[in-house]
Amino acid sequence: MMTGAEIIVKSLEEEGVDVVFGYPGGAVIPLYDKLYDSSLQHVLVRHEQAAAHAADGYARATGRTGVVIATSGPGATNLVTGIATAAMDSIPMVVFTGQVALPAIGRDSFQEADITGITLPIVKHSYLVRDVNKLAATVRAAFYLAGTGRRGPVLIDLPKDIQTAEAEFFYPREIHFPGYRVPGEPNAALAYRVTKAIGLARRPVIYAGGGVISSGAAEQLTELAEKTQIPVTTTLMGKGAIPENRPLSLGMLGMHGTYYANYAVSQCDLLIAIGARFDDRVTGRLDTFAPQAKVIHIDIDLAEIGKNVRTDCFLHGDVKAVLRELLKHIELPQTEEWLDQIASWKEEHPLAYRQEGERIKPQYIVEQICDLTGGEAIVTTEVGQNQMWAAQYYQVTKPRRFISSGGLGTMGFGLPAAVGAQMGCPDQLVINISGDGSFQMNLQELATIVQCRLPVKIIILNNGYLGMVRQWQELFHNKRYSQTELIPVPDFVKLAEAYGIEGRRVRSREDVRPVLKQAIEHAGPVLIDFEVAKDENVYPMVPPGGSLTKMMGG
């Protein structure tokens, strides 16, 4: 016999969980009491939102399911942004929230919130546990749902009296859900049809998204691209699906994508979308997106097929399984002329910026980080200009090395995500690239970094603005800079030192590389405040609602 709290801990151990991220409170005290003697490592964040982002970063870096614990009421509602972030990017996460005792539910009790109702649109599934005898099976089901099919967050709401009630422990291995089906082997006939279409193409492009990373299919994608000599462009979530220093890599496409990626997609005759959902930041104007192309869509979620862009042929299934099937019978297209055209675009329109005197350009900082790490560090980003410069100039060479909030665009994501990534990959170099605005959203997690002795390197691209909003105000709102100048800007170096972290400030371009090198070699955490050009914009840029071939700047 075990209490509900003991059942949860034992169930987590059965799932092979090694670390959980959380923040205690009244409604989860019984659970935290049992964590005290468990084998699980608990990371005490300083805000519940950071717990969700840390579990998210852990999941993205390791491929395993992240685990979060928070108390009822405000503890649970503080998780909402993190849960939504994970849901938009299909990240596996199991979230445990405390709840008032069963007899008190629905009575506006102290710290009561209907968290299953609040999170209904942003979870894959949720449970309010009413019977302790079903608790172990519920945990098993939650992990199964979170980590299969199109992955995502699952929430388990735990009334306090369920945590103290007793039941016999039995952890089921088999889980059956009526109506829930994980795709099996891909349709061989459709796969054959796809290989025929590939063989007939003359200007094909592979468009790879986060589904390639989630399924662990980067190796198969790279093999497909190199066998067929088809160039590959990725979404923000797909960075690392193919080494970006390879000739076949076109980098990122879309609003801030490369010139050659956007032109290749606009002129291709076959577009093979793999684990991607045709987001509006990728497509621009839908009626001008890949207008000459037949579209093949490979995805694990049938709901994405034809949702935004018409599809001529689709393969439903796990990306790795589908690519393995295609590789068995692949037919080789003739792409020599097409690759020559793309090489010409790359030469004529590279990613570029203008260096002006000793002013530090943020692109230069990212270039130096990439050069010093060989593109093999795990980089987490915040959201805004810092995110786009990182996406453009940090060439990722391996999957799960670029961690960023894609669909929701969550400021404050990067620092706690770095905590999770470092916990999951203790032997890897983890670097957080941040803007001064985003950094201030969850800067309290510097305490978590110190407490857990995590050697995270924090890079602040400090321009004194909410930079991406300022850029849009400059370009589309007649330079009416409404509420985007961040005054006062705190002394980030003193802030780091207040937490016991080494802080450095860099004002000169010549100091960028040596300070970065020292930080990378330093055994502990380091924060570097780079004072960058205040008016620098992210280019190229497709104006909102514009066509991919109508890019500004760059």
Instruction: Give the DSSP letter string of 311-362.
Output: -SEEEES-HHHHHHHHHHS------HHHHHHHHHHHHHS-------TTPBPH
Among residues 468, 471, 473, 541, the one annotated as catalytic is 468
Q: Is 170 a catalytic residue?
A: no
Q: What percent of the chain has pLDDT over 90?
A: 96
252 is catalytic: no
- Write down the pLDDT at residue 356: 85
Going through 115-210 in order, the beta strands assigned E by DSSP cover 125-128, 153-159, 166-167, 204-208
Planar angle of CA 410, 411, 414, nearest 5 degrees: 90
Find the mean pLDDT for residues 153-166: 98
> Domain-by-domain residue ranges, the chain?
2-167, 188-348, 362-531
- Which residues make beta-bridge pairs with 70? 23, 97
Q: Stretch 265-279: mean pLDDT, rounded?
A: 97
Residue 358 has pLDDT above 90, yes or no: no
User: How much is the average pLDDT of 78-95?
Assistant: 98
pLDDT tens-digit map of 499-547: 999 999 999 999 999 999 999 999 999 999 999 999 999 999 999 989 9
2-167 and 188-348 share one fold: yes
pLDDT at 220 (0 to 100): 98
DSSP 5-54: HHHHHHHHHHTT--EEEEE--GGGHHHHHHHTTSS-EEEE-SSHHHHHHH
pLDDT of residue 537: 97
> Does residue 19 register a pLDDT over 70?
yes
- Residue 159, pLDDT above cutoff 80: yes
Closest CA to 360 of 134, 513, 522, 521: 513
Distance between CA atoms of residues 315 and 434, nearest Å = 38
111 is catalytic: yes
Residue from 15, 88, 124, 160 carrying the catalytic annotation: 160
Q: Are strands 430-435 and 457-462 parallel, antiparallel or unpaired?
A: parallel
Cross-strand pairs, 273:
207, 297
Confirm whether 385 is a catalytic residue.
Answer: no
pLDDT category of residue 553 using cuts at 50, 70 and 90: confident
Of 395, 397, 415, 396, nearest in space to 405 by CA: 415
C-alpha dihedral sign at 24, 121, 435, 64: positive
278 assigned to active site = no
The span from the CA of 226 to the CA of 392, in Å, is 23
Range 362-531 has CATH code 3.30.70.100: no
Residue 554 has pLDDT above 80, yes or no: no
Confidence category of residue 176, pLDDT binned at 50, 70, 90: confident
- Band (158; pLDDT cuts 50, 70, 90): very high
Read off the pLDDT band of 253 (50, 70, 90).
very high
CB 154 within 8 A of CB 94: yes
Question: 254 pLDDT band (50/70/90 cuts)?
Answer: very high
Fold of 2-167: Rossmann fold (3.40.50)
Q: How confident is the model at residue 177 (pLDDT cuts 50, 70, 90)?
A: confident
Average pLDDT, stretch 176-187?
88
Single out the catalytic residue among 48, 367, 445, 531: 48
Distance CA 456, CA 54 (A): 13
Average pLDDT over residues 96-116: 97
Class of the CATH-defined domain 188-348: alpha beta
Catalytic, out of 111, 428, 444, 451:
111
Residue for token pair 């004529």: 348
3-state DSSP call for residue 538?
A: coil
Residue of 41, 110, 227, 494 with catalytic role:
110
Supply the Cα-derived Rg of the chain in whole angstroms: 24
Q: What is the mean predicted confidence (pLDDT) over 276-299? A: 96
What is the average pLDDT score of the chain?
Answer: 97
Angle of helix 414-424 versus helix 48-62 axis, rounded to 10: 50
Q: What is the mean pLDDT of residues 304-319?
A: 95
Cβ atoms of 91 and 151 within 8 Å: the answer is yes
User: What is the reported pLDDT for 154?
Assistant: 98
pLDDT band with cut points at 50, 70 and 90 for residue 173: confident
User: Residue 461: in which H helix or E strand, if any?
Assistant: strand 457-462
Tokens of 220: 């198969």
pLDDT category, 372, cuts 50, 70, 90?
Answer: very high
